[in-house]
Amino acid sequence: MLLEVAIRRKVLTFKKGAAMPTPAASVSPTGDPWLLTPGPLTTSSKVKEAMLHDLGARDHGFIEINRRLRERLVAIAGGQDSHVCVPLQGSGTFAVEAMLGNFVPQDGKVLVVMNGAYGLRMAKICKYNRRIMRILETPEDRPSDPVALDRTLTEDREITHVAAVHCETTSGILNPIEAIAEVTARHRRSLLIDAMSAFGALPLDARRVPFDALVASSNKCLEGAPGLGFCIARQSALEASAGNSPALSLDLHDQWQAMESNGQWRFTPPTHVILALDQALKEFEAEGGVEGRGARYRENCRLLVQGMRALGFETLLPDALQAPIIVTFRMPADPRFDFETFYDALRGRGYVIYPGKLTVAPSFRIGCIGRLGSEEIRGALAAIEDTLAEMGVVDCSPYRPLGRTGS
Ligand SMILES: *Cc1c(COP(=O)(O)O)cnc(C)c1O
């Protein structure tokens, strides 16, 4: 808050000054651009301030923060009576890799339900881990298919685990995780979920949606600093996973055992990231938990999509398939639209967007998550309109694949 006031004041004094430079770029309270990306994301001033401490790994206060943090994360997933939280150093992928390595035994077989780059990454991890794997794929603009999953599990008795992505951040599509969980449970297989970009904003409750493990990270919808992942694991499944992990540093069972015995991390803990996440969770709870955070993101998403459509852009996904996390827009066909120029001009105006990662269509992405609200989304839309005028782009309608007209 102090930081915020100081910077506001600075901006005000600046505005009163005689020579105001060309249109002032919008900046966050710390002078950084707004991150409209899949992560890392804009964090609050208090989350950043929480990191202004050096704590020892064995510090009593720090051990207490860890205990509290693990409890709160389990509660967000509704797993109080069945699941435990095992945090892990590293980015989200480290946690995904740890989950697959831990829960799938050498003689297991994983079915990766895939419709984007993060599903593909899980398949790659299984290859590294030398686990037998099969892929059930839908196109990037189609949700995963529970009916096809049902068929595959009926036909292939060797499959022991199903790995799925809740919100596939590649496109921003919402996958039907409840239906996937229901089918997997009915076939008595084990479900592993990459909930990285959904956790904290989209509800997923272990009391209603059966899963053995879920992974997420500190820096997406929880709005902490990057550097920490965690697994919410069914305790019985975690116990049974002892000895499975092909990597020492990613051994979740070992990490859990160590934490249960003395409250400490096996290896150097990311102390600053943990302090930031502790503060981020306070803000998360103050906002009304999953419901409150999800509501802010949905409003961000609604404003963004409405504003971009008004400018002539088209979304990749119909609204019914869109998760309120990140939106994919089709690249305009107008030759005056050059993505690098567009990106740099927006960056200069204080907004960072993200290139597309799709194979189905040229595209770019704009995120709705992080410590931002309708004011910042409106600011981004104004900056986009301004930039389009500067580039001389009048028509934002997208490329059409050959042989197809209209939508
Ligand atoms: C962000 C993300 C990850 C992990 O990415 P990192 O860059 O390793 O943090 C994994 N899966 C999904 C769906 C994601 O959105």
Residue 126: partners with Cβ closer than 8 Å, 6 or more residues away: 100, 104, 110, 112, 133, 163
Instruction: Determine the pLDDT at residue 26.
Output: 76
Global pTM value: 0.92
Is residue 260 within 8 Å of residue 167, measured between CB atoms? no
Where do we find the tokens 């592993």?
192
- Residue 92 in contact with ligand 1 by CB distance below 6 A: yes
Is residue 108 within 8 Å of residue 159, measured between CB atoms? no
Give the three-state DSSP class for 91.
coil
Instruction: Determine the pLDDT at residue 376.
Output: 97
- Strand-strand pairing, 161-165 and 109-114: parallel
- Residue 120 in contact with ligand 1 by CB distance below 6 A: no
- Residue 165 in contact with ligand 1 by CB distance below 6 A: yes
Instruction: Please list the residue range(s) of the chain that carry CATH number 3.90.1150.10.
Output: 2-46+289-391
- 55-285 in CATH: which number? 3.40.640.10
- Could you tell me which of 79, 101, 91, 56 has the C-alpha nearest to residue 265? 56
Is residue 324 within 8 Å of residue 201, measured between CB atoms? yes
Instruction: Determine the pLDDT at residue 24.
Output: 57
Q: How far is the CA of 145 from the centre of ligand 1 (A)?
A: 22
User: Per CATH, which fold does 2-46+289-391 belong to?
Assistant: Aspartate Aminotransferase, domain 1 (3.90.1150)
Instruction: Please list the residue range(s) of the chain that carry CATH number 3.40.640.10.
Output: 55-285
Ligand 1: residue whose CA is nearest its atom 12: 196
**Crossing angle (nearest 10°) for helices 92-103 and 252-262:** 100
For 272-339, what is the HEC assignment?
A: HHHHHHHHHHHHHHHCCHHHHHHHHHHHHHHHHHHHHHHCCCCECCCHHHECCCEEEEECECCCCCCH
- Strand-strand pairing, 228-234 and 213-217: antiparallel
Backbone region of residue 370 per phi and psi (left: phi > 0; alpha: psi in -120 to 50; beta: other values): left
Ligand 1: residue whose CA is nearest its atom 4: 92
* d(C-alpha 360, C-alpha 358), whole Å: 6
* d(C-alpha 15, C-alpha 233), whole Å: 52
- Residue 97 in contact with ligand 1 by CB distance below 6 A: no
Q: Cα-atom radius of gyration of the chain, to the nearest Å?
A: 22
Q: Which residues of 374-390 are buried (b: 16+ CB within 10 A; e: fewer)?
A: eebbebbbebbeebbee
Instruction: Determine the pLDDT at residue 399.
Output: 80
* d(C-alpha 151, C-alpha 148), whole Å: 5
What pLDDT tens digit does each residue of the chain (407 aa) get?
444 444 444 443 334 333 333 455 777 888 899 999 999 999 999 999 999 999 999 999 999 999 999 999 999 999 999 999 999 999 999 999 999 999 999 999 999 999 999 999 999 999 999 999 999 999 999 999 999 999 999 999 999 999 999 999 999 999 999 999 999 999 999 999 999 999 999 999 999 999 999 999 999 999 999 999 999 999 999 999 999 999 999 999 999 999 999 999 999 999 999 999 999 999 999 999 999 999 999 999 999 999 999 999 999 999 999 999 999 999 999 999 999 999 999 999 999 999 988 888 899 999 999 999 999 999 999 999 999 999 999 999 998 765 544 44
